[in-house]
Structure 1
Amino acid sequence: MKTFTRMIRRYVLATAAVVLLVVGLLLGLTVYLGLHYGETSDDRARIGTLAEALTPTADGLQFDPTQTPAQWMQGYDWAMVLDGNGTVIWQYDLPQNLNKHYTASEIASFSRWYLDDWPVFCWTADYGLFVAAQPRGSVWKYNIYSSAALMYAAAAGLLPTLGVLLAAVVGCCVFFSWRGARQLRAIAAGLDTIADGGTVELPTTGYAGELADAVNRASEQLRRRKEIIARLADARTNWIAGVSHDVRTPLVLILGWAEQLEQDAALPAAVRQKAGNIRTQSEKLRALIEDLNLTSKLQYGAQPLRRQPVQAGPLLRRLAAEFCESPLAAGCDMAVELPPDADKAVLHADAALLGRAVENLLNNAARHNAPGVHITLAAVLRENALELTVADDGAGYPAAVLHALQTGETGANTPHILGLHVVEQIAQAHGGSVQFMQNAPQGAKAVVTLPTENQAHR
């Protein structure tokens, strides 16, 4: 919005600058034309010099011998001298039809206007009236009369009049710019509202009406798309929840029957082993369904966060104990590393969700490594943030899995990472982050960074 206001301000200032520039150029052009053509058209001064160069001699009137007559007459077609009676007593290249006697009225007429379409200029000398003609069409020669009071008033009011006109032009530019700026500011505010996820309905009158109508149509289209996306999200969430509910009941029965068969001593060992495999795979399926349901809720904000102060040490020790009691821990060696400051750190978190994230990391380390893998659950307090680390010395993350975890890019051949994706979502829901990497010298490592209670409330 501030950028848009600055743009409008620059537009107004640029308009005023253009007006000032145009006025300055017009004034400069007027001065230039006056100086340039004034020097070449100062005919009164030239005719006087030419008349003074003509002097009486014993042989009649002749030009000053310092120049030839042609040089003196440069720029003139012809010249003549009339005596007091209007008789031509000297001439230079005078056309034959003009070599005649002139009456007083004829002299008065051509001295003001033209003589046979020649612009002529007159100069009174002791020897008579000197008349010289410039080429036809070279001079605009008319006498203009005006009241002296008017000319004085015009001269005195020239600068104020220019100032008023300039102020009027600038005022008009500012006024129309202000009117346009009001509409543009409304459109800019509407765009900000759309960017924030809202909808607008701007008035479509004025010169910016088409732009406002386009913004209204864009707002309506975005509103409809949001409704469609929301319906699709609800449908997906409801479908996943429904499928999870429908699958959970028969899955419980399968798990119960498999466990009974696995513990039935009357059955052969091979059968009990197959029953155990059925139970193990069913537990994986149950975990997958729970992860799928949870990731859907987290993605669309349908999973409420029941945050409360949680001490890190007791929570992590409980999660470690629960994992050690599970069948997955049978082939694992586990260690918990909790320094005193990390043990006493308090998290503002949903204990159940946070427990699910740690459980997924521990289960992932146990499932995807051969028996005998060593798993470490550690916590370190760093500047109001708690780093939870789950590391193992197994085979490490496959390259495709690590690429998908670190870049977020997935494809048709991307391995199953739903459980680890749930860990990412839970960390982000708590204002934290997670990093997946290879452990040194071997194995996989996941580091979950969570703000402590003081940092989480900032």
Structure 2
Amino acid sequence: MKTFARLIRRYVLAAVGVVLLLLFSGVALLGWLGWQEGRRLPQREYASSEIADAMLETADGLALGAAHTPQEWMDGYAWAMVLDDAGAVRWSYELPKELNHTYTAGEIARFARWYLADYPVFCWEEPYGLFVIGLPRGSLWRYSVYSSPELVLNMAGILPAAALGLLLLGLALCLWLSWRGAKRLETVANGLDALAQGQSVQLPTNGFAGELAEKLNRTGAQLQAKNEMLARRDNARTQWIAGVSHDVRTPLALIMGWAEQLERDAETPAASRRKATGIRTQCEKLRTLIDDLNLTSKLEYGAQPLRRKSLRAGPLFRALVAQFCENAQEKKCEIVLEQSEQSEQAMLCADRALLERLLENLLNNSIRHNPGRVSITVRTEVAGGCFCLTVADDGCGYPPAVLAAMNAPEPCENAPHILGLHVVEQIAIAHGGKAEFAQNIPQGAKTVISLPME
């Protein structure tokens, strides 16, 4: 709804902005047209009324005012004349010959408001007679407009209200169109959200957003088909790995059993018993590898259920470390468990079996990849609101290629064999945590697992 309201607000503000822009543009256009009209009108130094008022009675008759020369007074005009009460020309200036005659009352009435022989004229009634001044032909259009007083008064009262009503009507229309458009876009946005969540969409394809909705429908259908294909492929892969793991376990168990029998048989030569021990050890590694392969496949595709329980961290990790120390590999290592008081009492909601596998993989990794005896420190603490499990050793450390592969945001090509560490990372992520791999200081490898507390 926030997006919908924001969209409506933007449409309304845009509509108001457009209306105001058109209003100011219209005013600016009228001003520009008036300026252009002022430039195109005949440029006159003095108004015709000023010239008429400046006329003087002299002993020789009428004359233009003495304040300026006749040329200055008549700048911008073509001619001028004064008619007496009988319509005869009493005085004139540059009057064309065809206009120098006596005018009847009817002729005076006609040219007083319009033209005289195509000359635009202005007339002023003065005590000395009728002052008539003409502009050049074609320099001005003169027309009269008639209206009743009621029309002018009504327009003065109605025009502001009509303008306000038209503005409100335009805003209401914009609001309605915005609401309709926003509803269409909201439907498209909901479709996009559904696509982002992996759901199928079928949007209505009518309205201005119909083309976009149709494309989303096609995209959703294509994504649905691809998701189904990927799901079938992932399921087939998981089943294939599980089947192969099951088929390999049976002969592997027989090999391990026979190797253990040979290892314990006193009548078997010592060299053969050592070989039997090596066979059993390698079979255990192979069994661990198969288990890791099966587990990583299930974790990657969500086929491994998390059997979460509330577990106290202190007793849990003491038991897991003690259980690992009972293994024969403990002879090659020295394991120290350090737990802070906070971590001792910390509560975790986790799958015990997966945490056991996580710790077992980290300890086995330290033992397997260090040729001599190695000291391993398992430390638990609470930092930043998370439960932190650190497994560090004093061995040769992680190879640079392994660190680069584990810390890369995307899988690397030709990455080294790090299936056990990858399982550790997947188990941490499945519990809502993370795994960080680094070199120990001054030497060795270090892995920090951060898990959320209950």
Q: Which moved more, 1:74-83 or 1:329-338?
A: 329-338
CA contact (8 A) 2:391 2:447 kept: yes
Task: Look up the equivalent residue of 1:109 and give its one-letter code.
Answer: R
Alignment deviations for residues 322-362 of structure 1 (CA, whole Å, 9 cap, x no partner):
32232322222223334555444432221111111111111
Q: Structure 1: where are the runs of 5+ without partners?
A: none
Query: What displacement does 1:364 show?
Result: 0.9
Task: Look up the equivalent residue of 1:306 and give its one-letter code.
Answer: R
Residue equivalent to 2:300? 299
Task: Look up the equivalent residue of 1:8 and give its one-letter code.
Answer: I
Alignment deviations for residues 72-124 of structure 1 (CA, whole Å, 9 cap, x no partner):
11121111222333332322222222223323222221212112221111112
Query: What displacement does 1:388 show?
Result: 2.3
Q: TM-score, normalised by structure 1?
A: 0.89
Matches within 5 A, 1:157-172: 157-172=158-173
Query: What displacement does 1:264 show?
Result: 4.1
Counterparts of 1:164 and 1:435, CA distance in 2: 68
Q: Which moved more, 1:21-30 or 1:393-402?
A: 21-30
Alignment deviations for residues 196-221 of structure 1 (CA, whole Å, 9 cap, x no partner):
33333222212222222223233323
Counterpart secondary structure, 1:67 = coil
CA contact (8 A) 1:342 1:386 kept: yes
1:332 matched to 2:333: yes
Q: Which moved more, 1:143-152 or 1:91-100?
A: 91-100
Query: What displacement does 1:295 show?
Result: 0.8
Counterparts of 1:73 and 1:309, CA distance in 2: 109
1:59 matched to 2:60: yes
Counterpart secondary structure, 1:364 = helix
CA contact (8 A) 1:4 1:188 kept: no
Q: Which moved more, 1:434-443 or 1:376-385?
A: 376-385
Counterpart secondary structure, 1:256 = helix
- Cα distance change of structure 1 residues 127 and 203 upon mapping to structure 2, 3 Å threshold: same
Counterparts of 2:219 and 2:412, CA distance in 1: 32
CA contact (8 A) 2:12 2:171 kept: no
User: What's the RMSD between the two structures over aligned residues?
Assistant: 2.7
Counterparts of 1:176 and 1:312, CA distance in 2: 61
- Cα distance change of structure 1 residues 42 and 372 upon mapping to structure 2, 3 Å threshold: closer
- Cα distance change of structure 1 residues 381 and 86 upon mapping to structure 2, 3 Å threshold: closer
Counterparts of 1:64 and 1:382, CA distance in 2: 104
CA contact (8 A) 2:122 2:133 kept: yes
Counterparts of 1:208 and 1:256, CA distance in 2: 70
Residue equivalent to 1:13? 13
Matches within 5 A, 1:194-209: 194-209=195-210
Counterparts of 1:176 and 1:345, CA distance in 2: 58
Residue equivalent to 1:142? 143
- Cα distance change of structure 1 residues 323 and 10 upon mapping to structure 2, 3 Å threshold: same
Alignment deviations for residues 15-36 of structure 1 (CA, whole Å, 9 cap, x no partner):
1132134224434655786699
Counterparts of 1:12 and 1:137, CA distance in 2: 50
CA contact (8 A) 1:53 1:64 kept: yes
Task: Look up the equivalent residue of 1:217 and give its one-letter code.
Answer: R
Q: Which moved more, 1:284-293 or 1:92-101?
A: 92-101
Residue equivalent to 2:215? 214
Task: Look up the equivalent residue of 2:378 and give its one-letter code.
Answer: L
Query: What displacement does 1:194 show?
Result: 2.5
Query: What displacement does 1:189 show?
Result: 2.6
- Cα distance change of structure 1 residues 404 and 146 upon mapping to structure 2, 3 Å threshold: same
Counterparts of 2:266 and 2:279, CA distance in 1: 17
- Cα distance change of structure 1 residues 337 and 159 upon mapping to structure 2, 3 Å threshold: closer
- Cα distance change of structure 1 residues 158 and 340 upon mapping to structure 2, 3 Å threshold: closer
Task: Look up the equivalent residue of 2:215 and give its one-letter code.
Answer: A
Counterpart secondary structure, 1:309 = strand
Query: What displacement does 1:62 show?
Result: 1.2
Counterpart secondary structure, 2:206 = coil
- Cα distance change of structure 1 residues 204 and 313 upon mapping to structure 2, 3 Å threshold: same
CA contact (8 A) 2:11 2:174 kept: no
Alignment deviations for residues 285-333 of structure 1 (CA, whole Å, 9 cap, x no partner):
1111110110111111111111112233443233223322323222222
Counterparts of 1:98 and 1:248, CA distance in 2: 129
Residue equivalent to 2:187? 186
Task: Look up the equivalent residue of 1:232 and give its one-letter code.
Answer: R
CA contact (8 A) 2:262 2:273 kept: yes
Counterpart secondary structure, 1:140 = coil
Matches within 5 A, 1:12-411: 12-27=12-27, 30=30, 46-339=47-340, 341-382=342-383, 385-411=386-412
CA contact (8 A) 2:43 2:76 kept: no
Q: Which moved more, 1:164-173 or 1:3-12?
A: 3-12
Task: Look up the equivalent residue of 2:420 and give its one-letter code.
Answer: G
Aligned residues: 452
Counterparts of 1:155 and 1:315, CA distance in 2: 91
Counterparts of 1:131 and 1:119, CA distance in 2: 10
Counterparts of 2:432 and 2:339, CA distance in 1: 22
CA contact (8 A) 1:5 1:185 kept: no
- Cα distance change of structure 1 residues 153 and 34 upon mapping to structure 2, 3 Å threshold: farther
Identity of aligned residues (%): 55
Q: TM-score, normalised by structure 2?
A: 0.90
- Cα distance change of structure 1 residues 383 and 85 upon mapping to structure 2, 3 Å threshold: closer
Query: What displacement does 1:268 show?
Result: 4.3
CA contact (8 A) 1:403 1:409 kept: no
Q: Structure 2: where are the runs of 5+ without partners?
A: none
Counterparts of 1:211 and 1:411, CA distance in 2: 37
Counterpart secondary structure, 1:205 = coil
Task: Look up the equivalent residue of 1:148 and give its one-letter code.
Answer: P
Task: Look up the equivalent residue of 2:63 and give its one-letter code.
Answer: Q
Counterparts of 1:272 and 1:409, CA distance in 2: 45
Task: Look up the equivalent residue of 1:276 and give its one-letter code.
Answer: T
Counterparts of 2:60 and 2:48, CA distance in 1: 23
Counterparts of 1:7 and 1:37, CA distance in 2: 44
